[in-house]
Structures are given as C-alpha cells and as structure tokens.
Amino acid sequence: DDLKLTVIDKELECVKEQIKLTEYMANTPSMVIIESKAPMQYNTEIMHMIQDKLKYISTSYDGLRKLVVQFPSFIESAVKEARLKMEEAVMATAKMNKELVSKYTREAQLRKHYHNQLVVLRGNIRVFCRVRPCLTDNGATEPVISFDTFDDGIIMVHNKGRVVNFDMDKVFSMNISQSQIFDEVSSLVRSVIDGFNVCIFAYGQT
C-alpha cells in the first residue's frame, strides 16, 4: 500500500509539472510559435485533459488513502465478527453434543432394562441339549436318538424297545453349527456386558 501511494505521488508530481509547462507556454505566445508549431487551441485542450486527469488521480488518491487508513479497523471488525460466529457455532455444537450424550445414556439404560426383562421372561435357568453325530464304529445298527419335528425342545431316547422323552428349552441336532449355538446364547453375552452375572455350564462327552 505504501508503494502504491508513492507511485501515485510521483504521477501527481509529473502531471503538475506538465500543467505548469503548458500554462507557461500558453502565457508566452512568442515562445510557443518558435518552439512549437502547434496552435494555441491544441495546447489549451491538452491542458484541460491534463487537468481532468489530475483531478481524477487526486480523487482516486484520496479514496485510496482513506481505504488505507480505514483498513486496520475493517480487519479488526471482520476478525471480531468471525470470532463471534465461531464461538456461537462452538457453543451450539457443544449443546447439541450434550443433548445427544444425554439421549444416548437414557436409551442405553432403557435397552439394558428391557433386555434384562426379556432374559428373565425367557428363564433365568435354561437347559439346552446338543446331539453329537452318531459314531459308525461302535456297532450300533439303529439310532438311539430322535427328534420331535413339531417341537424343538423335545428329544426322544430309544432304549431296549422303549422311548423316553426329555423336555428341554431347546434341542440342537447334530447338523447345527457353532454360530447357530452362539446366536442362541448371545443374549447372555450381552447381559454380561451390561453388568449382570451369567453362568454357562457346558457338560458332555465328546
């Protein structure tokens, strides 16, 4: 900005010198005739053009100087406004985050409560039975285990011509995968994560 002002000052000085020279030539007709063959009217037009240019440059110079003087206050005002908007945005975001955390905490407590109620309704103590595949080298000719096609909680054991039914919470056949077993007990894992005491007791010959 200081460099621009310096250049404008130099231009003003040059224009002023040209005006002085033109006025001097206009006031000395003999010298104008000797030194310049241009008519007086032409010199007068040039002088008016230079004066208009000088007026324009002076106006631009004054406007630029005012802008330079006011520039620090503009910057300070813009910085204050931007800082105020940023503070408002930060406060609004913090308030929103606080509300979200409060809602999440409330929903988590409700989920834990309802999940615990569901586990209680399904039974605090549940018994599952998983049937292993039959062995072909033990000499057995007929299966000793069968399943109820209408109730997955009943297993039938065949022994010496008799059939004994055992009623459980769920019976897993020999074709059930490990992931299906986990799906059945995954709610207990969630209860452990929620802070409840859980015991899974697995027993049986393999």
Tens of pLDDT, residue by residue over 43-65, are: 677 777 777 777 777 777 777 77
Q: Tell me the sheet residues that pair with 16.
A: none
The residue that leads in pLDDT, 173 or 45, is 173
How many other C-beta atoms are found inside a 10 Å radius of the C-beta of residue 155? 20
Beta strands 170-172; 145-147: pairing state = unpaired
Percent of the chain's residues with pLDDT above 70: 73
Tens of pLDDT, residue by residue over 128-159, are: 888 887 766 655 556 678 888 788 888 888 88
- Collapsing DSSP to helix, strand or coil, 197 comes out as coil
Q: What's 136's DSSP letter?
A: S
Beta strands 154-159; 162-167: pairing state = antiparallel
**pLDDT confidence band for 41 (50 / 70 / 90):** low
Read off the pTM: 0.41
What is the phi-psi region of residue 57: left when phi exceeds 0, alpha when psi lies from -120 to 50, beta otherwise?
A: alpha
Stretch 100-119: mean pLDDT, rounded? 82
